[in-house]
Structure 1
Amino acid sequence: MEFEILINCSFADILTDTNLSPVNRKNIISLINDYEDSDWMYTHFQNFIWDNIAETSLSHKERESLVNNHHTLLTSAAKNLRLSDKKGDVSKGSEIAEIVLYAIMKHHFKALPAVPKIFYKQNPQDNAKGADSVHIIVEDDDFSLWFGEAKFYNSIEDARLPEIITSIKNSLSTDKLKKENSIITNVADIESLITDTCLKDKIKKSLSPRASIDNLKPKLHIPILLLHECSITKSHSVMSEEYKNEIVKYHQERANAFFKKQIDKIGTIPHYSSIAFHLIFFPVPLKKAIVDKFLSTADFYKNY
């Protein structure tokens, strides 16, 4: 990863309410960007977005064909962006969060992008339906399935948490899971991503509409990216142990609040304890500056 990882542990390791259950299969990751010349490294973060945009904006076939044509890859990827942020809607910054999650899935989890969601969006001005990211991780002759949620928030205080928990709850309904499974098996990407024919057949059989979702849930992982504006990050101007300690303390506190609310709201979902959740925090000093720069760069590439 291009960013320092401050927390990478099981939720059970930082649990404050020992009465909370179930807490198994829940994990926390906290990433931070660096500072330079007394400022948060905005350019480094923007480069990370654009270096990884193809993971979700282009199909596997397109990515392979443009691997040595970086500029063409960027212009092609930009043309598939919704840029709904221009309309000031509730999804402001959503595509940035989706791209960052795809990048984290690639570089940290070593996952394969089974469905590049921005590429397979339903129409140019509609948020990609269902999960914000869809990945497969191959583990020897087996696999795990990762359906992600990605948000870019001005705040991650308690008032904002129910929204993403509701989104997760909806995505875990049997109908929604079967729909995501059908998308994976119907798009062309899986054919070229998974070269082992036996494993490919095993995945398709597991994702078949005739297969019980109950059997899939132990293989199911939900990465949840909370890219968020952070007053702590904004108040500092240099990387320091003080800053790191403040972020660790804050993210641990937010993780406890999040999972308490999540268990209360969706803990009764069938086989909930079989599903793995990965809560990923990434603080930024100012959301607007990041969104504005992203839109400006996207406009340039779309109209090049």
Structure 2
Amino acid sequence: MDNMLKLRTKNQIFKYEVPLTGCGIHDSTFTLDFEEGIYRQNDLVGLIRDVVPYFSLTQSELEELEISELHRRSFTRISDARKQSKGDYGELLLYLILSIFYDVPKFVTKARLRSITREQIKGFDCAHFSLDGEKVTLWLGEAKFHKTLSNAISSALESLTEHIGDKNRIKSELRLLGGEIEINKSLDENAYYKLKSYVDGGKSLDSIDIAVPVLLTYDSKYISSCNGNKSTSIKSEPFLSEVKKELQTHFETIYKKTWPEDKNIRLVFFLFPFESVTELKEKIEMVEMAMRF
């Protein structure tokens, strides 16, 4: 991703820094900010539009394609399923969070692996990795772009129980991903072979560290109530304390569920409240329809 897009992302998406109880130490919440009392969902639409090529194209395609072909091809890799049932933009938000806030790059462009554009991405929603000396961690995530947290949680729980509960399924996906590892600007030859040894190098799953970031979106009652209030700031009261109350309740709900467990697999929850997920999806779909042609 180019430096200007990284800068725009950091100027539009913010990590909520107020300490919370009842959540995991690696869990996080992300919000937009306000301008003239308006939660900046419309600005996020423009950011999403410009990030699509980095999300859906490989490094070599980004370097080789002409500008006009680059945008057309990148949007044809977005599912053309109905907006209510497609998950691409939740996956793109997860890609942004991992890439920008955690410095965890992708190693496979999963959007490229569809056989038809109407189907959703199979298996985990992303394939990222991090290196810490000799240690490799695979980040295989799940994104649920819903307007109610209860639906997002239920859908994530169903998907993760299916993915994590079957070790053969994980091994099968890693074998598939192993043949698709991309050499990009952040991955030198030594790192490539180290990563490949963890993905399809015959290692026991017991010796592979897997982080599963779970992005859950929802319509926030409090954020909606702020609409039109020009004094609202995400850095001051009452926003900080009111959102904290909302998040505490939501994390309690998350952790009341029985999530699949394994000694080398850890779940990391990311919450992202919006004023209206439905309106956001509608505006993204309008942009997508124009960019396909």
Q: Report if aligned partners of 1:55, 1:103 keep a CA contact under 8 Å in 2.
A: no
Residue segments in structure 2 that go unaligned for 5+ positions in a row: 1-9
1:5 aligns to 2:15 (yes or no):
yes
Point out where structure 1 has 5 or more consecutive residues left out of the alignment.
17-22
**For residue 247 of structure 1, what is the amino acid of its counterpart?**
V
Alpha-carbon distance, 1:109 to partner: 1.0
- Regions of 4+ moved over 3 Å: 69-73, 190-193
- C-alpha distance in structure 2 between counterparts of 1:51 and 1:241, whole Å: 33
What's the offset of the Cα at 1:187? Answer: 1.1
Structure 1 segment 30-49 matched on structure 2, within 5 A: 30-49=29-48
**Separation in 2, partners of 1:191, 1:179:** 24
> 3-state SS of the aligned residue for 2:168?
helix
Structure 1 residues 174 and 209, CA, compared in 2 at 3 Å: closer, same or farther?
farther
CA 1:134–1:41: 2 relative to 1, 3 Å: same
More strand by share: 1
The question of whether the paired residues in 1 share the 8 Å contact of 2:94 and 2:215 is answered with yes
Cα distance 1:179–1:243, how it changes in 2: closer, same or farther (>3 A)? same
The equivalent of 2:116 in structure 1 is 123
TM-score (norm 1): 0.82
Q: Indicate yes or no: 2:194 matched with 1:202.
A: yes
Instruction: Select which of 69, 73, 77 maps to 1:76.
Output: 73
Q: What is the aligned partner in structure 1 of residue 148 from structure 2?
A: 155
Read off the aligned partner of 1:65 and give its amino acid letter: E
Coordinate RMSD, CA, aligned: 2.4
Alpha-carbon distance in structure 2 between the residues aligned to 1:160 and 1:41: 22
Q: Distance in 2 between matches of 1:80 and 1:205?
A: 29
Distance apart, 1:224 and its partner CA: 0.7
CA contact (8 A) 2:152 2:216 kept: no
Alpha carbons 2:56, 2:112 under 8 Å: kept: yes
**Amino acid in structure 2 at the alignment position of 1:298:** E
Against the structure 1 CA distance between its residues 83 and 161, is the aligned structure 2 distance closer, same or farther, given a 3 Å change threshold?
Answer: same
Check conservation: 1:8, 1:29, Cα contact below 8 A.
no
TM-score, normalising length: structure 2? 0.85
Q: What are the superposed Cα offsets for residues 43-83 of structure 1, whole Å, 9 maximum, x if unpaired?
A: 221122123212321112112335xx666533321121112
Q: Aligned ranges for residues 290-301 of structure 1 at < 5 Å?
A: 290-301=280-291
Is residue 7–residue 31 contact of structure 1 (8 Å, CA) maintained in 2?
A: no
Aligned equivalent of 1:212: 204
Identity %: 19
Instruction: Assess, with a 3 A threshold, how the Cα gap between structure 1 residues 15 and 200 changes in structure 2: closer, same or farther.
Output: same
Paired position in structure 1 for 2:178: 185
For 1:18-57, list aligned pairs within 5 A: 27-57=26-56
Contact 1:149 1:224 in 2 (8 A): yes
Report deviation, 1:192.
6.7
